[in-house]
Amino acid sequence: MPIEPPASEWILPDPSVADEYGVVGIGADLEPGTVLAAYRSGMFPMPIEGTLAWWSPDPRGVMPLAALKISRSLRRSIKRFETTIDTQFDRVIAGCADPGREGGRWITPEISGAYIRLYELGWAHSVEVWRSGSLVGGLYGIAIGGFFAGESMFHLESDASKVALVALVDQLHPRGLLDVQWQTDHLASLGAVEIPREVYLQRLSVALALPLPSVFDRR
């Protein structure tokens, strides 16, 4: 089972009190106890111009596990790749943080270091996608009970990140919650939807009480 770190020294704000952009607060730290407390209360960290910010968007993007859309072309792609879990976390987060990717610029060395520490404690996880022995895509996030917070994904070959998402959903509790933070066109094409913050927090409470999928138990 994951190792519970020391509790955060910070009193975290109410996730329902956010500005129009979804920012709840600024500052604090990225210690494991702080980051886990934030996820458990419905927030996640993401810097704004170098300053650590804590977010609780309304509406919130989630991926309904029973409604993942797998097109015929994606089904063909799944057969072309192999997937693993938790074998190359450092390389996956490095791929997501590649400064050449617009979507990875927020993943600073401090953010990467924080999630690597959480991986070492058993809370952060990665899905790796391989082709001919080469890492060509993947995703990473945080698992707490039946809750999974998807943080970022990357691909070096077409459909590789989508294959990673399919592999992740296959492992999650059917009544769990897959948080994708914000709905994008890319995620919407796979079935992601937006729900009100109030509904998200209710579903989060239920998901946190579910058992951790065995694939994420690295004992």
- Report pLDDT for 219: 67
Where does the chain show beta strands of DSSP type E? 23-26, 44-48, 51-55, 60-62, 82-85, 124-131, 134-144, 147-155, 177-181, 193-195
For residue 119, is it within any domain?
Answer: yes
Q: Which tens digit of pLDDT belongs to each residue from 142-187? A: 999 999 999 999 999 999 999 999 999 999 999 999 999 999 888 9
Q: Which tens digit of pLDDT belongs to each residue from 67-96? A: 899 999 999 999 999 999 999 999 999 999
pTM, full prediction: 0.96
Q: End-to-end alpha-carbon separation of the chain, Å?
A: 6
d(CA 28, CA 93): 23
For residue 12, is it within any domain?
Answer: no
CATH of the domain at 82: 3.40.630.70
Place of tokens 């996820």: 39
Range of the structural domain that residue 145 is part of: 60-216
Q: How many domains does the chain have?
A: 1
For residue 184, is it within any domain?
Answer: yes
Q: Which tens digit of pLDDT belongs to each residue from 11-37? A: 999 999 999 999 999 999 999 999 999
